[in-house]
Structure 1
Amino acid sequence: NKIKTLLSTDKLNPVLIVSPSWLSPGASVTLSCDVEYPSEGWLFSWYKAVPYYKITEEPYTYELLPDGSKTAQSLHIINGQTSTAGYVCRVERGSNFYHNYYSKPKFVWSADVNSAASLTVGPVVQNFGYDSVKLTCKGNSPSWRVRKFPENRRPYCSNFWDSGESVCIIDTTYSDDGVYWCESMSKEFSNAVNITIQDFYSGPIMVIPDDPVKTGTFVSLSCKLRRKKIYPSVAFYHNNKLIQNDSREELNFLAVSNSDEGSYKCQYSGKESPSRYMSVKCE
């Protein structure tokens, strides 16, 4: 009874370890499959994870690797891998046991860009109230999806395949650091990109309404720094002329006028934002 209880626990689920995580030219990839209990008596099989069209149900199917079927070795070496790929291991005990279990997919990433599948990262785009970064998938396949690790409950940018170019918008209001790559319905993986949202911010962001503001209305501009300081020094400039210099992160207009139209920028504790233009139209 004790053995049956142990066999029914998560300790039977194998854990796949991929080394290295990032490919380098000429390097081999080592797959290691570990089972916590029991640790001996298993046969190991090795698979490549292939994108599947049902994203929300079973995102991958598994294709057996050459020489990857039912070996007693818990290690498997892959030579000549040059692009991003996913792998899975399966463990089973002899024919009298009927126990076989699959690991979760693990990935090895490549930063090399190829024409068949590529991921490009755009600059930060300032929107009204938030900023975003655009990721774009391109290549030979008609359908794409953007994958992320760690998943943080959301492994894909969308729960649908996108036709043509796939575009993923990351809201930088939330820290969504991780490794991103594209997967196609044609079983292709793109280059991977390690994104740290803070890397996009060398300075503050000047927040201005995207649409023209009406004369006589209240308008508030702001100077935003992702990592705020406790006692900031914030300066606002209109057409390169200093108009406010204190600790306030907002520049308010009780009744905006035509003379307020122009280019604005700010300095946050010595760091300067890019300039942005505010348009004013008559009521």
Structure 2
Amino acid sequence: MELTPLCWIFLMFSTQVDYRLSQGVHAWSPPVSMIINPNRLQFFEYESVSLSCEVQGNSTAWRLKRYTVTRKLSDCGTDWGMKQESSCNITVAISDSGVYWCESEAGEHSNTANITVPGGDVILESPALPVTEGHSVTLSCRYKKTPSNLIADFYKDGSLIRNETTGEMTIPAVNKSDQGRYSCGHPELGESQESWMTVTASTLCPPPSTPPPPSPELCISLSRLLCSLLVVSPYLVVTTVLMVKCQVRIIHLTKT
């Protein structure tokens, strides 16, 4: 028995949180970002997808890895994908669905992405990377076959939230309440699978007041500390809950 892809995601995430905290407040951002082109999480079979690791400095020390629905952990260039320096090109099939990420030789991880190849006639086009609060986001319902109309129903966490005649839904300025599981559907072609959209808080602190306070060094330090706590706290709470669930599953699997 092995861990589920969900447990893999949060085990890696918690490891990266520990690394970032050990490096200080200014090192909260991942040391590397995995970029998906096209920028979405769902794909039709036989579409071409390019994955790359973007990092300042030496990107060759990072490798692309995945853990698929078939419970196989492997690197790009082994039994999947065509490796080209810091990128990996792949023509996807249903068996390629799984969790993808960049990993360094030291064990540091980038953001993860749960790529889905459903095999149906409808997919949801949603951002692969986390979206910052206040930014505009457009979700699109994409069809393998040409429908008689572009009407689409959009769902969040299993509940219908909007019906659009253009097949697209735009959120002008996202906030944390918009984070969740999204899917879309067409009356003739069926529904897509769900994809998770992450919304992150802005890490920009307000500019100092004028005139500056008597102790600027102290105020700057407190400002940075408060900003870091606002960013870190939700992740620590969610990570702790999910890590407990994963540990319970590990104990259960060990006993069985």
TM-score under structure 1 length normalisation: 0.33
Q: Which has the higher strand share?
A: 1
- Higher RCO (CA 8 Å, separation ≥ 6 residues): 2
Rg larger in structure: 1
TM-score under structure 2 length normalisation: 0.36
Q: Which has the higher helix share?
A: 2
